[in-house]
Structure 1
Amino acid sequence: MPRTASTVSPDQPFVPVLLGGDLGTYSLAREFHEAYGVTSVVVLGVPNGLVQDSAFIELRPYPQGAGEQDMVQHLIALGADLGGDSGRPLLLLGSLDGHVNRITQHRALLEPTYTIPYPDAATVAEVALKDHFYSLCERLGIAHPQTQTVVAGRTDHAELSRLTFPVILKPSDSAAWTQVSFAGKKKVHRVESAQELQALLDLLQAADYTSPVIVQEHIPGGDENMRLCTFYAERVGGRTQVTVAGYGEVVLEDHSPMMLGNSVAIVTAVDEDVVRAGTALLKEIGWVGFAMIDAKLDPRDGTVKLFEMNPRLGRNHYYLTAAGFNPVRMYVERWMGRTDLAPPLELVPAEVFRSAQDGTQVLDHEVLYTTVPNTLLRRHLHGSTGEKARRLMKDRRTVNPLYSRAEKHPRRWAYIAASMANHWRKFRAFPPLRG
């Protein structure tokens, strides 16, 4: 790769290299800048407004139509460019499950150049596939929705007829799902009848989609029943120790077809039962690094049931930083061992954490994280979580990850203004479903 004029200072002590171009990518770059004052290099196909014109992002797109091996070679060449003769440390992160899969599968080629803060590829695959995740939950006695794994064209009709509708259909392998195209495709499908399910499976079969899909009981309740928890685990004395957990209650989700299930507002909270369940899973797997678990409060029995685990920080992980815990410091100070790059601040600040019985530090500072205008959010507040959000807005304890004071470019703020306006149009076209 030819050398290009770089906005990364030659004096910068390390460089975060981020695969992706979504809100999670931008949040990572902002967190690295806030903690260490560094510029991150973002590697993606087509630049977009989320990551363009930023004060702390340099874009290094890969060539259009690049295959997997081409992308790996692009990263290796980029590493040689950024590392230079001094061998400056580089940290490689992915914003989607597919990125993490790709990074870990090509670890042998990438690790001489980059620090890779993920477990081995086999461990990542074990949790990235949702059918494996539910098998783990079953074995450990962890509450989860009733689930059936289905392969289009191979599952017996009699098996489908035993399902109770409505059901939720979603991919077992999120990375494989991004590669398939068919009419009416959504990130997650709510299916009302056996006939509708069969029609959807027929579409998958016609599209030659052979990966398993998950057909799962629908747990009633709106967006305010959704939950998520982020964990950080490391090896201590040869065993997995979950050192940090940060829990959140979803206030509102995006309901447009390809963004369905993505949270747009979260209130930080504490649920020790979910922390215990997630800790048990990570210890069973032998996990290291960050992971995020999605869950939902079942109003029928008051139990929070686990849905899936992502082998990375989630798209909306900035809720952690908003509450006082910047997660990227774990990458730099624990994985890279660089404790000399920031002021001597607590890595896990005592004022926003409390200790659980097993030694896990649990984030315990309430704040509202939101990516939509407050005036829009107020129209969609329900239940106790909605009341918390209303109170936090009144107290001005809200954080939007896009609103960084470091950003100065007028095009950046024009994009943010357009993004906020677009949420109004989106929620008019795709309003949240109740129940």
Structure 2
Amino acid sequence: MLDHEVPVLLARIGNYPQHHGSLGVARTLGRLGVSVHAIVEDSFTPLALSRHVTRRFVWPTTGREDPEWLTGNLLSIGRAIGAPCIAVPTDDEAAVLLAEHADRLTECFLLPPVPTGLPRLLAGKASLHRICADAGVPSPRSREPADRDHLVDAGREIGYPLVLKNLEPFSRLRSPAVRCTTRVRDERELLARFPDGALPPVLVQEYIPQQQAEDWITHLYCGPGGVPRVLFTGLKLRSWPPYAGMTARAVALRNPELARLAERLCRRTGYSGVADLDWRYDRRDGLYKLVDFNPRTGAQFRLFETVHGVDVVRAMHLDLTGREVPVGPQAEGRVFAAGQLDFPSVVAWLRTERRLPPGLLYERATERAWLCRDDPLPAVIEGIRFTGLVTRRLVSLARGRFGH
């Protein structure tokens, strides 16, 4: 039983008005009677209109603000809530800010005892690669080029095609190198992406061919010293954009080897808190390679529950309020679908692979990102905002094509 006297704040940095992971946090705790407060970009985001949100704090940020100013504003929100509050980060920047300014923020917030600089290192792509090497956890070959000459050398060393990623939290908001994980076919295309002399913070990473790969995910909550309280594994069936974006559909499947690797990494680093890990299984060498470590709540975390109904967010609330987290295996076969992303992911798969995607015949989703009977309004608002977003992009493409 959760402690209903301890509220929760959904903390975010940056502009993510259509983030279904935040909505999942509000629902999983609100349904159990916990008071949920949320930072939102405006009063008409899907999250702001959820019946499970007690209070909304309209506080748009970009991630380019001074960390001291961000910390001061978080404290103001915490004081407005009144009671000691659990801060749940829903993006990497918020997780980094909470950890690096915990000495001040503990005035208002209950936080996991994570080592101060660890979330930044785990969320950083190059530093994660180094941490994996030290911990004996496989990861794709990666390089952090300092200039265009090093960029060319990295591409030739790793080989084409390759993958480009934004290097670190905050830098992806302040000076993004790419919009999202991007595949590059050859050196000419690589250099065309960075025509100027200055090179933004970017990671060059080995590309594992989709035909030789499977995408897996691990969601967990660890207590002090990196000891998992709950740990889940699942198979990502489709994503949007294809192979590199957000999870469009996934299924909960027990994978002992993956669980062992995730636990090893958390114990070696002493990570404490909620985390979302992305892995790629490489059939060429039979290794699960860690692609991303997100030190915060994952957007699809509601895919996973134990047989006792405990997900990572509920486990966090239980643990930080001094209550026991029930021990039990994960519920197998749960399916998660991210509504509007699911259909285009199928279309994209059919175009590129010319065959039915895996998991297409799975039963209907156990958990949906937006649509649910007890909280229907966020799905309506998301439908309106998503339609507007698609319309604006189509108009922009048309203007570019016809020169208007």
Partner of 2:237: 251
Is 1:309 the counterpart of 2:300? The answer is no
Equivalent position amino acid for 1:347 in 2? P
Q: Secondary structure at the match of 2:118?
A: helix
**1:26 pairs with 23, 27, 50, which one?**
23
Following superposition, the deviation at residue 267 of structure 1 comes to 0.7
| CA separation of 1:64 and 1:265: change in aligned 2, threshold 3 A | closer
Equivalent position amino acid for 1:299 in 2? R
Match runs of 1:351-362 below 5 Å: 353=329
State the alpha-carbon separation in 2 of the partners of residues 265 and 422 from structure 1. 23
| CA separation of 1:89 and 1:383: change in aligned 2, threshold 3 A | farther
State the alpha-carbon separation in 1 of the partners of residues 335 and 280 from structure 2. 19
Partner of 2:186: 193
Match runs of 1:319-398 below 5 Å: 319-321=303-305, 324-338=309-323, 347-348=326-327, 350=328, 353=329, 363-372=330-339, 380=349, 387-388=358-359, 390-393=361-364, 398=366
**2:38 pairs with 25, 28, 42, which one?**
42
Would you say the 8 A contact 1:268–1:365 is kept in 2? yes
Match runs of 1:160-171 below 5 Å: 160-171=155-166
Would you say the 8 A contact 2:219–2:312 is kept in 1? no
Would you say the 8 A contact 1:250–1:263 is kept in 2? yes
State the alpha-carbon separation in 1 of the partners of residues 354 and 321 from structure 2. 43
State the alpha-carbon separation in 1 of the partners of residues 291 and 166 from structure 2. 12
| CA separation of 1:42 and 1:384: change in aligned 2, threshold 3 A | farther
User: Unaligned stretches of 5+ in structure 2?
Assistant: 396-404
Equivalent position amino acid for 1:55 in 2? R
Is 1:175 the counterpart of 2:164? The answer is no
| CA separation of 1:384 and 1:53: change in aligned 2, threshold 3 A | same
Deviations 1:264-299 (A, max 9, x none): 111111211111111111111011222221111223
State how many pairs are aligned.
380
Following superposition, the deviation at residue 117 of structure 1 comes to 2.5
Is 1:271 the counterpart of 2:255? The answer is yes
Would you say the 8 A contact 2:44–2:381 is kept in 1? no
Q: Secondary structure at the match of 1:318?
A: helix
Following superposition, the deviation at residue 100 of structure 1 comes to 0.8
| CA separation of 1:131 and 1:159: change in aligned 2, threshold 3 A | closer
State the alpha-carbon separation in 1 of the partners of residues 354 and 279 from structure 2. 17
Would you say the 8 A contact 2:42–2:58 is kept in 1? yes
**2:122 pairs with 99, 120, 127, which one?**
127
State the alpha-carbon separation in 1 of the partners of residues 61 and 171 from structure 2. 20
Is 1:17 the counterpart of 2:9? The answer is yes
State the alpha-carbon separation in 1 of the partners of residues 72 and 333 from structure 2. 44
State the alpha-carbon separation in 1 of the partners of residues 51 and 213 from structure 2. 34
Partner of 1:226: 215
State the alpha-carbon separation in 1 of the partners of residues 165 and 215 from structure 2. 16
Would you say the 8 A contact 1:223–1:253 is kept in 2? no
State the alpha-carbon separation in 2 of the partners of residues 383 and 28 from structure 1. 37
Would you say the 8 A contact 2:274–2:316 is kept in 1? no
Q: Secondary structure at the match of 2:363?
A: helix
Match runs of 1:103-142 below 5 Å: 103-117=98-112, 119-142=114-137
Identity of aligned residues (%): 18
Following superposition, the deviation at residue 152 of structure 1 comes to 3.5
Would you say the 8 A contact 2:137–2:261 is kept in 1? yes
User: Unaligned stretches of 5+ in structure 1?
Assistant: 1-10, 340-345, 354-362, 430-435
Q: Secondary structure at the match of 1:196?
A: helix
State the alpha-carbon separation in 2 of the partners of residues 143 and 132 from structure 1. 14
Q: Secondary structure at the match of 1:415?
A: helix
| CA separation of 1:400 and 1:322: change in aligned 2, threshold 3 A | farther
State the alpha-carbon separation in 2 of the partners of residues 147 and 194 from structure 1. 16
Partner of 1:70: 69
Match runs of 1:414-433 below 5 Å: 414-418=380-384
Between 326-335 and 262-271, the greater mean CA deviation after superposition: 326-335
State the alpha-carbon separation in 2 of the partners of residues 149 and 196 from structure 1. 18
| CA separation of 1:61 and 1:297: change in aligned 2, threshold 3 A | same
Q: Secondary structure at the match of 2:380?
A: helix
Following superposition, the deviation at residue 313 of structure 1 comes to 2.0
Would you say the 8 A contact 2:239–2:246 is kept in 1? yes
Partner of 1:79: 78
State the alpha-carbon separation in 1 of the partners of residues 379 and 265 from structure 2. 41
| CA separation of 1:74 and 1:292: change in aligned 2, threshold 3 A | same
| CA separation of 1:234 and 1:194: change in aligned 2, threshold 3 A | same
Following superposition, the deviation at residue 193 of structure 1 comes to 0.8
Equivalent position amino acid for 2:302 in 1? Y
Following superposition, the deviation at residue 12 of structure 1 comes to 6.0
Following superposition, the deviation at residue 197 of structure 1 comes to 1.5
CA-based RMSD: 3.5
| CA separation of 1:219 and 1:408: change in aligned 2, threshold 3 A | closer
| TM-score between the two structures when normalised by the length of structure 1 | 0.76
Match runs of 1:287-302 below 5 Å: 287-302=271-286
Following superposition, the deviation at residue 89 of structure 1 comes to 2.4
